[in-house]
Structures are given as C-alpha cells and as structure tokens.
Amino acid sequence: MPRNVEMKARLRDPEATRRLVAAAADGPPATLEQTDTFFRVAAGRLKLRECGDGTAELIHYERPDGVAPRGSRYAKAAVPDSAALRALLEAALGVRGSVVKRRILYRVGRTRVHLDDVRGLGAFLELEVEMAEGESESAGVAEAQRLMRTFGIGDEALVAEAYVDLLEREGPSAAKRTPRADGAPPEETEPMADDDIRRLLREIRDGQREHLAEYRRVAERSLEIQQAAVARQEVVRKVSKRLALVVGSLVVALLALLVFILARFWRLIFT
C-alpha cells in the first residue's frame, strides 16, 4: 500500500508562503478545484474526491492525528460515475461532511506541496512526502520538517487534524452535509467495517478492469475489421490490374487483326 509522510499548517500570510514555495519548486504549479465528500467508516477515513475537470477518485486512508509529521497509508481508485457512487455510499454509510477547496499544487523533489484555500476554514499548507517501498519513515519525517523550516512555518502554525475534523470542531454548520434526494437530512448509519470497505474497493477495481477488457475487445475487433478492409482493397486492386491487362491485350489483338485484314484485302476492296 502506498505511503506518505504528511504535515499541515495554517497560514497567516498565504502570499508570502506561496513565494517561498514557488522559489523551491521544480516547476510551475497546477491549480485544482476539489470537493471531498467524507463517509462514515469504522476505521480511517473514506472520501470521494470530485475534481473540477470532471475526474473523480475514491480514497481510503489511515493516518494518526498530530502536529508532528506522521505516516499515512492510503488506497485509491478512479471513479467513472462519481454521482452514482456518491449516492450509493451515502445510502450505505451516511455522509460525515464535505470539504470544498482550491488547491495549488507544487512539486519539490518527491514532495507534493499543497497551498489550500478551504471554504469555511481559510488558507493552509500541506506536505505529502512520497515514501519508497521499505523506506524508513524517519527519512520522510526529516524531509517534511526541513521543508517546513524552508517555508518559514513555525510549530505554532501546525495543525493536527484533517479539514473535515476542523470543520466539525470550528463550526458544525460550516461542514457541508449532502442531503438525500428527497431533501431530508442524511440518516445516521452504522460505520462500515474494514472488510466491507475493502470489498467495495475491490468491486470498483474489478469494474474498472471489466471496462478496460471490453475496450480492448472493441479495439481489437475494430483493428481486425480495418485489416480485412485493407485486404479486400488489395484484392480488388490486383483484380482490376489483371482485368485492365486482359482488356488491353484484346484491344491490341483486335487492332492487329484489323490491320492484317486491311492489308490483305486492300486491293480487292478498293479496285
């Protein structure tokens, strides 16, 4: 399972921090519009992320709360129909809350640096140090702490909780709740067990594999049809070429015969 080491801080001067991050970044940033809908689960956090470009993914992650750099294990899967999946998970699990944000994403080496403007909360910086398989977590912790110092972030600005937790704690009314289709508030449901979450993720993954296999079958069939059409065109070309050769030979033979007849019977005809 992929791992990150993460840190989060609240920003007093977002523009000053942005300049420091841009100076250290490997290249220009990407701007992302994201809406994260969190569902009630027994362990970790489960969210459906819907992006402004129409893409979406389901993400489950486990990360202890705390201001110090902490490891995060996560799994994610692309979602072709986010609206349908959101309705399904809402009915099965219940919605805990929704986080709407504009994210400016920089890369500094292997670290994703997020400058987030979160609706109802304000400006934050978030680091995600991508860990290699088998790598000690301490290396990621050291890198996250170094970058925080580079960006001028002091310990007093560090945040221990996820955005959805902050929304719940700092203002329950700020945490956007997704209503049911009939307009009623979401029902409280029992959290889904870890096995059920894994099963749901497997079903999504299997569905994606089926779609990919069907696409490959269609592509292979299309290629076969194209190849057959090319082969037919080649046969027609060869037949046309041979037919033209035969017709040309017949015309030459007829002309030769006509010349012979005229030469043979010229005097008989014109005398």
186-245 residue pLDDT tens: 444 455 566 667 777 777 777 777 777 777 787 788 788 888 888 888 888 888 888 888
Contact 148, 155 (CB under 8 A): no
Q: Where does the pLDDT of residue 270 fall: very low under 50, low under 70, confident under 90, or very high at 90 and above?
A: low
84-119 residue pLDDT tens: 999 999 999 999 999 999 999 999 999 999 999 999
To which residue do tokens 């899967």 refer? 77
Q: What is the CATH number of domain 3-189?
A: 2.40.320.10
Please determine, for residue 133, whether its predicted confidence score (pLDDT) is greater than 80. yes
Residue in 180, 216, 177 with CA at minimum distance from that of residue 88: 180
Element (DSSP H or E) covering residue 250: helix 194-264
Domain boundary assignment for the chain: 3-189
- Residue 173 sits at φ, ψ, to 5 deg, of -70, -20
Residue in 44, 39, 63, 175 with CA at minimum distance from that of residue 126: 63
- b/e map 233-248, b = 16+ CB within 10 Å: eeeeeeeeeeeeeeee
52-64 residue pLDDT tens: 999 999 999 887 6
DSSP summary character for residue 186: P
164 C-beta neighbours (distance < 10 Å), count: 19
CA dist 13 and 75 (Å) reads: 33
